[in-house]
Amino acid sequence: MNQDELAHKAGLHRSYVGHVEQQRRNPTLENVEKLAMALGVDIRELFADAPA
């Protein structure tokens, strides 16, 4: 899935998704939930490999 498709499925702007991916913006928990739903994963999976 590319950024355009992810952004569309999550109801977010493509540039916002790009900035989150590039770590130029910090997403809100609400938007993390939207991204997880668009990806079809549990929200916890998005934090599974996050550094402590």
Q: What CATH number is given to the structural domain containing 43?
A: 1.10.260.40
In this structure, is residue 20 part of a structural domain?
yes
pLDDT in tens, the chain (52 residues): 999 999 999 999 999 999 999 999 999 999 999 999 999 999 999 888 776 6
- 24: phi then psi, degrees, rounded to nearest 5: -95, -15
Q: What pLDDT, on a 0 to 100 scale, did the predictor assign at position 52?
A: 67
Q: Look at residues 1, 4, 30 and name the one whose alpha carbon lies nearest to residue 17.
A: 4
* Rg (alpha carbons) of the chain, rounded to whole number: 10
In this structure, is residue 52 part of a structural domain?
no
CA distance 30 to 48: 18
Q: Which domain holds residue 26?
A: 3-47
Domains held by the chain: number: 1
Q: What pLDDT, on a 0 to 100 scale, did the predictor assign at position 28?
A: 96
pTM for the whole structure: 0.87
Q: What pLDDT, on a 0 to 100 scale, did the predictor assign at position 17?
A: 97
In this structure, is residue 23 part of a structural domain?
yes
Q: What pLDDT, on a 0 to 100 scale, did the predictor assign at position 27?
A: 95
